Amino acid sequence: MLILMRISATRLHRTISELSKIGRQPEGGLTRLTFSKNDIEARRYVISLIRSAGMNVFVDAFGNIIGRSRGVKDGVRTVACGSHIDTVPNGGRLDGAYGVLAGIEAIRTLHEHNANGGKALQIILFTEEEGARFGSFIGSRGFTRQLTQKAAYSLKDKDGISFRDAFKASSSLHLAPDAPSRLSRNMDSYVELHIEQGPILEHEHKSIGVVDSIVGLADLVIEIHGKAGHAGTTPLRLRQDALVGAAKIVTGVRIIAKATGGNAVATIGTLTVEPGASNVIPGKVTVEVDYRNSSAGGMKILNEKIILYAKRVGREENLQITHHLKSYTKPVRMSPRIMKIIEASADSLKLPSKRMQSGAGHDCQNMAQLTETGMIFVPSRDGISHTRKEFTEPKQLETGANVLLLTLQRLSNN
């Protein structure tokens, strides 16, 4: 018989408040880039919480932090939850971090009531979900064996520092890397709790979102090679201006996404212009295209159309175009069984819920390659995320954590 438990709201809000102090910027947002000083400090804090919740702590070869119920053998079936604590620059305090902290609190509550049903409970803090330093989903792609250790370690940030060297420098955590295969085997299910990052739940007055699918997303890097020259002495007709080509690609990408239809979107949020002086014709521009669609076919169409368009611009402007796919995450559907369990948990607490798609990517979609997965959303005020204005009502944070608690309880007792 299931016990209708509740998490400690006091503990949950205290941990959210404490973690949000780490990496706080003068503008009010948070910056915790992977393996930075702020990230390491935040990791230490979360590790202390995991241990207080009755779990042993491990770090795998990708820097993922895994907490696992004490006194449980490796071969026991595992029910897991988790998210990430890295942020975009000047990001919000809840994106990712809420799912980690609420997961720790839910597992702690289950341990306190001895209600894990004989299964191991596991919290996973994934490395580099946001991709603000080395690339998106490195931790969850590595954990699920979609990314090799060699490939991950060769990735470099904008300053040329490799993932391997940054990880090695963070060894002050005093945790020896463990084998991801050992920590991922015998996993029955994985559930992730997250703020919606959109306006739908708030608009429809729903307390809980039951995610049925997550869009695919990719990061396509396009390099536009022209010829640098003096801004005053080179006639327009003789120029090979890489930034002119980039401008055409920026507008073209938007047109392509609109023409593709459905829920296709594409965004260029960064341009790197070289040499980067006002009186020098740009000789090289690098653009990163974030494109998303709910189907694998739609993702392929976007990729092909964007590359063909970029090559056409290259011919028109006498520029050389190169490209590579920095990251790719498949669109996935959540487990019907876990969706029903999440809905039953919300019903137990008399909370109105709604099935919905996630337009943002999450570690959960990589975990879907390994085990049954489910995802729970709580409302975001005005749909705002990735900024200091990101906010969810405290009571809504509590109800989301309680739905996660009951969901984990049901999964561990099935």
Predicted pLDDT at 334: 97
Residue 4 lies in a domain: no
Round to whole Å and give the CA distance between 49 and 30: 20
Kindly state whether residues 50 and 140 are assigned to the same domain.
Answer: yes
Instruction: Annotate 169-236 with DSSP letters as a single string.
Output: HTGGG---EE-HHHHHTTEEEEEEEEE--SSHHHHHT-SEEEEEEE-EEEEEEEEEE-B-EETTTS-G
Q: How many domains does the chain have?
A: 2
- Would you place residue 174 in the very low, low, confident or very high pLDDT band (cuts 50, 70, 90)? low
Kindly state whether residues 76 and 223 are assigned to the same domain.
Answer: no
- Residue 44 in this model has a pLDDT that exceeds 70: yes
Q: Which among 329, 360, 386 is the end of a domain? A: 329
Residue 290, domain CATH: 3.30.70.360
Residue 140, domain CATH: 3.40.630.10
Residue 3 lies in a domain: no
What is the total residue count of the chain? 414
Q: What is the pLDDT of residues 376-410, one digit of tens each?
A: 999 999 999 999 999 999 999 999 999 999 999 99
Kindly state whether residues 69 and 45 are assigned to the same domain.
Answer: yes
Q: Which among 276, 307, 329 is the end of a domain? A: 329
Kindly state whether residues 33 and 161 are assigned to the same domain.
Answer: yes
- Residue 269: give the domain boundaries: 216-329
The CA-CA-CA angle for residues 100, 368, 186, to 5°, reads 80
Predicted pLDDT at 326: 86
Q: Which among 312, 329, 346 is the end of a domain? A: 329
Residue 238 lies in a domain: yes
Using alpha carbons, select from 315, 332, 319, 338 the residue that is nearest to residue 215: 332
Kindly state whether residues 285 and 186 are assigned to the same domain.
Answer: no
Kindly state whether residues 117 and 200 are assigned to the same domain.
Answer: yes
The percent of residues above 70 in pLDDT, for the chain, comes to 97
Residue 352 lies in a domain: yes
- Residue 180 in this model has a pLDDT that exceeds 70: no
Predicted pLDDT at 366: 94
Kindly state whether residues 173 and 261 are assigned to the same domain.
Answer: no
Predicted pLDDT at 329: 85
Residue 397 lies in a domain: yes
Are the C-beta atoms of 291 and 218 separated by less than 8 Å?
yes
- Would you place residue 261 in the very low, low, confident or very high pLDDT band (cuts 50, 70, 90)? confident
Largest CA distance in the chain: 82
Kindly state whether residues 43 and 166 are assigned to the same domain.
Answer: yes
Kindly state whether residues 201 and 277 are assigned to the same domain.
Answer: no
Residue 383 lies in a domain: yes
Q: What is the pLDDT of residues 275-328, one digit of tens each?
A: 999 999 999 999 999 999 989 999 999 999 999 999 999 999 999 999 999 888
Least confident of 34-48, 168-182, 204-218, 224-238: 168-182
